[in-house]
Amino acid sequence: MNKQTITIFILLLTGMLTGQNVQKSDKLFEDQTPMEIKLGYSNKDLNRNTDDSTFIITAMAYLHEGKWNEIEVNLRARGNFRRNQCYFPPVKMKIKKNEYSGTIFDGNKSMKLVLPCMIENENNDNILQEYIAYKIYERVSPFHFKTKRVNIEFTEPKGKNNKVFQLKGFLIEDDKRVAERHEGKVMERFIHPMAMQHLTSVQNAFFQFLLGNTDFSVAYQHNGKLLYINKEIIPLPYDFDMTGWVNPSYATVNTTLGINSVQDRKYRGFKRDQKYFDQVRAQFIESKTSLMEMVASYESEFSDPKEFDNMYKFMKDFYEVLEDDSKFEKTILEEARTK
């Protein structure tokens, strides 16, 4: 099977050539220029007084086509680890239809807002690194979340005064939007990974290996969702901050996997037919130049050049494994899980 045949085969299996439903919600994500927004609320209130069904209400100002507009948004803290450890907890945002109708947010009833974790020098660079991870997966699989960068003027009340932060962040579309784009639905139950579509599962596992991510479980939908499309179960990954790719100051290491750092890679995919490993390996190698050029295009946006350099080297190390038969055999094929 030649390279062109492999590429076409991959595209057909993952549905990239079958077309996708256009949705109103897509408009927000068409322009990848960061959107300027203004938000204000108490992080303490968000953490203490919100849960899966309880939200705080605040106004969000946003700049669109040269004009400032304002809509009402409902916010709650999300994520067990980050809401307990971070100064800025990640946010689930809901917008009522009468607020988003006719605006750039039309169709986006529910989204996630990813914010920096800590008040520290590399916080905005970490956000950029995680955003780039989402952009990589966009090129790996058609089954991915759309994202939109935002520059946030965040105002937090502190007693009689306000504290203002300039933050980078990004919005992530709701999983139901991804499912409907592919005429599928979101699955909420646990499924053994070997019951999932083989090719997209291997693509996801290679991608997680690229990031140095061990903080996920497709079986238990930890930092991932499942889509049911064309009678097949498709993994849909998200939340890539606790990875070697980002390497944040608050990262914790799962030493039970035999690693000592989040930058120690560990392949967490399952054993499948060799052809799927060969196909996905070829896909990543063929895409190497375009992927690395895309990552390099963000270099000037990093506040600390070392943060970019470490991330870029981490990607090169991934390709050193893929392009070396011996390393590929030992690090991926032999590490693939059987249970």
Residue 10, domain member (yes or no): no
Residues 216-251: tens digit of each pLDDT: 999 899 999 999 999 999 999 999 999 999 999 999
Residues 188 and 328 occupy one common structural domain: yes
Structure confidence at residue 80 as a pLDDT band (50, 70, 90): confident
Among 158, 176, 194, which residue terminates a domain? 176
Residue 7, domain member (yes or no): no
Contacts of 85 (CB under 8 A, 6+ apart): 117, 250
Long-range contacts of 17-23 (CB under 8 A, 24+ apart): 20/142, 20/181, 20/182, 21/180, 21/181, 21/182, 21/183, 23/107, 23/177, 23/180, 23/181
pTM of the entire predicted model: 0.93
Among 151, 176, 201, which residue terminates a domain? 176
Residues 200 and 328 occupy one common structural domain: yes
Tell which wins on pLDDT, 202 or 3: 202
Among 118, 141, 176, which residue terminates a domain? 176
Residues 201 and 322 occupy one common structural domain: yes
Long-range contacts of 147-150 (CB under 8 A, 24+ apart): 147/29, 147/171, 147/172, 147/173, 148/28, 148/29, 148/32, 148/35, 149/32, 149/33, 149/34, 149/35, 150/34, 150/35, 150/36, 150/37, 150/113
- Residue 196 is part of which domain span? 184-333
> Beta 35-40 vs 147-158: how paired, if at all?
parallel
Residues 111 and 196 occupy one common structural domain: no
8 pLDDT above the threshold of 50 = no
User: If DSSP codes are grouped into helix, strand and coil, which group holds residue 250?
Assistant: coil
Residues 29 and 168 occupy one common structural domain: yes
Closest CA to 267 of 198, 323, 200, 216: 216
Residue 85, domain member (yes or no): yes
Residues 163 and 289 occupy one common structural domain: no
Residue 5, domain member (yes or no): no
Q: Using an 8 Å Cβ cutoff, are 79 and 243 in contact?
A: no
Residues 162-211: tens digit of each pLDDT: 999 999 999 999 999 999 999 999 999 899 999 999 999 999 999 999 99
Residues 168 and 305 occupy one common structural domain: no
Residue 12, domain member (yes or no): no
Above pLDDT 90, what percent of the chain?
Answer: 82
Q: Report the number of distinct structural domains present in the chain.
A: 2
Residues 219 and 127 occupy one common structural domain: no
Per-residue pLDDT at 52: 84
Per-residue pLDDT at 14: 46
Per-residue pLDDT at 15: 44
Residues 160 and 295 occupy one common structural domain: no
294 pLDDT above the threshold of 50 = yes
Residues 75 and 171 occupy one common structural domain: yes
Above pLDDT 70, what percent of the chain?
Answer: 94
Contacts of 133 (CB under 8 A, 6+ apart): 211, 240, 243, 245, 246
Residue 105, domain member (yes or no): yes
Residues 189 and 153 occupy one common structural domain: no
Tell which wins on pLDDT, 87 or 59: 59
> Of all helices (H) and strands (E), which one includes residue 274?
helix 274-286
Long-range contacts of 319-324 (CB under 8 A, 24+ apart): 319/284, 319/285, 319/288, 321/265, 322/281, 322/284, 322/285, 323/285
Closest CA to 123 of 276, 250, 216, 263: 250
Per-residue pLDDT at 133: 98
Residues 210 and 104 occupy one common structural domain: no
Closest CA to 244 of 209, 284, 270, 281: 209
